[in-house]
Structures are given as C-alpha cells and as structure tokens.
Amino acid sequence: MSANSFRVCVVGAGSSGIAAVKVLAERGIDVDCCELSDRVGGNWVWGNRNGVSAAYRSLHINTSRQRMEFSDFPMPANLPDFARHDQIADYFAAYTEHFGFGDRIRFGTGVTHVEPQPDGSFAVTLSTGDTERYDAVLVANGHHWDPRLPEPMFPGVEGFRGEVMHSHSYTEESQLAGRRVVVVGMGNSAMDIAVDASYHAAETYLSARRGVHVIPKYVWGKPYDQIAGKEWLPSALRWPVARRLMAAATGPMTRYGLPAPDHKFAQAHPTMSSRILDRLAHGAITPVPNIERFDGDDVVFADGRRVAADLVVFCTGYKISFPFFDRDFLDPSGDNEIRLYRRVFHPAVPGLYFVGLVQPLGAIMPIAERQALLIADHLQGRYHLPGAAAMEREIDTHRRRISRRYVASKRHTIQVDYDDYMRDLRLERRRGARRPAGRTPADRPVASAAAREEIPA
Ligand SMILES: NC(=O)C1=CN([C@@H]2O[C@H](COP(=O)(O)OP(=O)(O)OC[C@H]3O[C@@H](n4cnc5c(N)ncnc54)[C@H](OP(=O)(O)O)[C@@H]3O)[C@@H](O)[C@H]2O)C=CC1
C-alpha cells in the first residue's frame, strides 16, 4: 500500500452493497467489493449461487416499486407495483450495468476474515486465500441469511416423525405438496409460505405466538406504503392515519380467526399480505396458537389441540451475523444487536461502516443509498462524527426508543421507521458537515490528503 493509496472494501454485492459501491466509485474512491455469488442482488436472486439467499419461487416484495427504487434509477414502469424476485434481481443488475461499476466487484470471492490492524487499516482475507490491506471496510453482508430457530426448541422435537425446517430452506411449492404443513410465525415469510401451502399442501396450519396487524398491499386502490409514507409527515400523524386506514380496510384480525394483536399498529415490523386474509377467509388455512410440544407424529398447540403433521416450517426470523469478524471483536449473537452511531458508524473503530443493517418499516435500498452518501462524505473528510460520548448517547437514546416503541423481540433490535430515518440521515449529513473534525478517534480522516484531492467534488 503506497502512502497515497486509499482502498475501501465493501463486503457483499446485495442491494445495499451495490448502492455503496456505486456512490463510492462515483466519488473516485478506490473501492473493491467482494461477492461470493456470480451476480449482484443477494437475497433477491432465487437459487443464488452464494447459497444463502432466502428467496422462494413465489416471492414478491412487499414494498411498492416507487418506494424501493434507487433515487437516480427508476424501476421500469412496466413492472408491477410489487415486483417479483427475478424482476428485482434484474433491476439491480441493470443498475450495476448502467452506472458501470461492475468491474469493482470481485465475483466468486467471499470475505472470510476481517482483522483491524494497529495502524488503523484492515487485513481482509478472501476465500481465495489472499489477504489484502484496506483503509476502510463497509459491511453489507445482509441480515436475512442466518436462520434463527426457536431458542429453546420446543420439547419432543427429537422424536417428531415429520420434517422440521426453517423458512430459509424453503425454495418452492413442491416442498409442501400433498403434506400436512404447520407454518410457525407471523412475519412476512410465514404469510407467504402459508399462502403457498394453502394451494399445494394437504392441510395448512398457521401457528402464532402473538397476533399481528396484517396490512393489505392496497388501500383505496393505491399501494399501502404510498399513502402515509412521506418523509415530511411526522410519525405522530403518519401512524394514526395508517392505523385508521388499515382498520377500515381489514377490520379486526379476530374476524379471520387470528389472535388479537397484543400491541398497537406499527409497534411491530409490518406483516404485509393481502392474500393471507383471503386464504383464511376461504378456510384454506387454519390458525392455531403457539406450539407447546411435539409428540410422535403430532404437533401439540398451547390450547391443547393436536394435529398430525408431515412438515413444520419455522418462519422464526434471522440472526445478525458477521462470520468474518473474530467473536471477541464483534459478536451480535447474544441480543441480536450492535451499537452503531446512526446505525452506520462503529463508534470506536475508525473506518468500519455498516450499510443496510436496519430493518425498516419500508424498503432498504434508498436507505442504503443515503447511508453510503454519509460514509462517502466521511471518507472524504466532508462529514465529521460527534465526540465519543455524544455517539454513545445517540445509540442509547435510539435503543430506548426502540424498546419503548416495539414489541420486545429479537426481530426488532435494528428496526427503524423508514421516513423518519431517511430524514435523519439527510439532516445528519448536514450536521456532520458543520462539525469540527477529530472530536473522536473514530473520526480520523481516513482518506489521505492525496486521495481527497483526487476525489471530484
Ligand atoms: N415479500 C417480502 O418482501 C418478504 C419480506 N420478508 C422480510 O424478511 C425479514 C424476515 O422476515 P421473517 O422471516 O418473516 O422473520 P421475522 O423476524 O420478521 O418474523 C419472525 C416471526 O416468528 C415469530 N417467532 C420468533 N421466534 C419464535 C418462537 N420461538 N416461537 C414462535 N414464534 C416465533 C416472531 O414472533 P414475535 O413477533 O413474537 O417475535 C415473528 O412472528 C423481514 O424484514 C421481512 O419483512 C420476508 C419474507 C417476504
């Protein structure tokens, strides 16, 4: 590494990784992206060669086209409001091609180890066996690929004669065909898989440990997220408006045989599905409470009901995982969370950034794009972090807000309100531009003077 070279590594070329590579490449920053697969798109590539995509044949996104597209690359107008996985993957490929940064991506190359060095750089070891030095690392490895099974697992599972799997292993309807299927969970994976099962399985049960507010994809003929989703609309107005619309559109969840939610609307990550309500109304799905135990061929539920089942699909969510960091350096496995200033900056490790590590009530792509702008500004010395104590305070305040606002669950540790967070990123960029440099070691200007000069304004 020469004194003037300044190199950035992006881990992963999913929707967040490509947004970051595009922004950094446009700024003239020397960026490499390592991607295990042979293509961009990560989770949206059904059957992705990287082996970790959670996509299934029937997957359609639950954020509308206009709310998920990147700011400078509209999705084709001939796509449906809620696009299918392959249309989304094609859109990401077209984005990469259009902005011409594909040559920055090393396909078929995983990152196996990232080790911060005493001089502030990072040693990045690749699946090729090579180790390279980088000045900054952007982690964009996604957070929907490492399955979380119930912890602890329900008793009796070892003697269960049916099959047990996590939704991550679900890829197509043939896995359900003709079987008696129990789908566990009330998130979006559970909705989609229960609907698939309702057409292909012999019997379908949907097991909920808690009720949720199921949001239909359209209200008043418009994609639901386009009605109240506006950056300028204060959340104190947004959610009451949305709640009323939803209540008018669906009525109470108990009307469909689902348990009444134990929380208010928008106090949980949204479960969006028009089709589940339809299939419940048709009697094609039987709602059941949480599993109590397994017993031979049977699954026994908390209300004492028992059903013979061939397959139980645990749609119980994902863990945040960074297999390339040493556990004593960074390990979110306990509480499924990680302390990041503005959900992007490691407060104690200069040059370590996270992109797309949020679960928005909305789409992640425009968020990743805006996070990348902030990171690029920081790399160029145009944005500065506040002092260490201020960063810790911001992180604590955010955590307090999350625990007050959302149902206590490991699925909510990285939750953000899309519009509020987008506004926050925009304002934070301005605030950071006015801050003095060097209030914290994490603000060390990472681009050398020479590299900064090379960067076009
Ligand atoms: N079409 C789309 O766009 C899709 C998007 N997604 C997205 O992918 C992400 C992951 O979604 P998903 O896979 O559904 O996972 P989630 O984490 O969103 O949901 C997990 C569900 O499982 C329940 N659960 C967790 N642990 C247990 C347990 N031990 N026993 C019983 N129930 C349990 C949770 O309940 P509790 O709330 O009580 O914790 C929750 O209902 C989300 O961001 C989602 O929006 C997923 C599928 C499709």
Relative to the CA of 186, which ligand 1 atom is closest? 41
Question: How high is the mean pLDDT of the chain?
Answer: 93
Query: Hey, whose CA ends up nearest to atom 43 of ligand 1?
Result: 359
Query: Hey, whose CA ends up nearest to atom 29 of ligand 1?
Result: 150
Distance between alpha carbon 347 and the CA centroid of its chain, in Å? 22
Binning pLDDT at 50, 70 and 90, where does residue 457 land? very low
Tokens of 52: 């970790």
The Cα angle at residue 170 between residues 158 and 52, in degrees rounded to 5: 100
The Cα angle at residue 449 between residues 113 and 342, in degrees rounded to 5: 55
Helix/strand/coil (H, E, C) string of 113-143? EEEECCCCCEEEEECCCCEEEECEEEECCCC
Quick one: average pLDDT of 153-175?
Answer: 98
The answer to which of 35-49, 238-252, 315-329, 392-406 has the lowest mean pLDDT is: 238-252
Asked if residue 214 has pLDDT above 70, the reply is yes
Q: What is the ipTM of this complex?
A: 0.99
Q: Is 188 in the pocket of ligand 1 (CB under 6 A)?
A: yes
Q: What is the pTM of this model?
A: 0.94
Binning pLDDT at 50, 70 and 90, where does residue 447 land? low
User: 278-319: per-residue pLDDT in tens?
Assistant: 999 999 999 999 999 999 999 999 999 999 999 999 999 999
The answer to which of 227-231, 311-315, 422-426 has the lowest mean pLDDT is: 227-231
pLDDT reported for residue 278: 96
User: 52-92: per-residue pLDDT in tens?
Assistant: 999 999 999 999 999 999 999 999 999 999 999 999 999 99
Q: Is 186 in the pocket of ligand 1 (CB under 6 A)?
A: yes
pLDDT reported for residue 386: 96
Neighbours of 263 (CB within 10 A): 15
Q: How buried is 397 (Cβ within 10 angstroms: 0-12 exposed, 13-18 middle, 19+ buried)? A: exposed
Percentage of the chain exceeding pLDDT 70 = 96
pLDDT reported for residue 111: 98
Q: Is 64 in the pocket of ligand 1 (CB under 6 A)?
A: no
Query: Hey, whose CA ends up nearest to atom 23 of ligand 1?
Result: 185
Query: Hey, whose CA ends up nearest to atom 19 of ligand 1?
Result: 187
pLDDT reported for residue 118: 94
Give me ligand 1 centre to Cα 442, in Å: 34
User: 170-207: per-residue pLDDT in tens?
Assistant: 999 999 999 999 999 999 999 999 999 999 999 999 99
Rounded Cα distance between 321 and 337, Å, is: 10
Give me ligand 1 centre to Cα 36, in Å: 25
Give me ligand 1 centre to Cα 165, in Å: 14
pLDDT reported for residue 237: 81
User: 339-371: per-residue pLDDT in tens?
Assistant: 999 999 999 999 999 999 999 988 899 999 999
Give me ligand 1 centre to Cα 133, in Å: 37
Binning pLDDT at 50, 70 and 90, where does residue 6 land? very high
The answer to which of 25-39, 214-228, 284-298 has the lowest mean pLDDT is: 214-228
User: 325-341: per-residue pLDDT in tens?
Assistant: 999 999 998 888 899 99
Asked if residue 242 has pLDDT above 90, the reply is no
Quick one: average pLDDT of 411-418?
Answer: 91
pLDDT reported for residue 446: 65
Task: Give the mutation target among 15, 182, 188 for probing the ligand 1 site: most ligand atoms within 8 A of CB.
Answer: 188
Task: Give the mutation target among 63, 68, 189 for probing the ligand 1 site: most ligand atoms within 8 A of CB.
Answer: 189
Asked if residue 400 has pLDDT above 50, the reply is yes
**Are 259 and 282 a contacting pair, CB within 8 Å?**
no
Which amino acid would we find at residue 22?
Answer: K
Rounded Cα distance between 240 and 238, Å, is: 6
Q: Is 147 in the pocket of ligand 1 (CB under 6 A)?
A: no
Quick one: average pLDDT of 197-219?
Answer: 96
pLDDT reported for residue 3: 45
Helix (H), strand (E) at residue 77: none
Binning pLDDT at 50, 70 and 90, where does residue 445 land? low
Q: Is 189 in the pocket of ligand 1 (CB under 6 A)?
A: yes
Asked if residue 102 has pLDDT above 50, the reply is yes
Binning pLDDT at 50, 70 and 90, where does residue 450 land? very low
Instruction: Give CA separation, 396 vs 145, 312, 342, 346, 414, in Å.
Output: 27, 38, 11, 14, 13
Helix (H), strand (E) at residue 203: strand 203-208
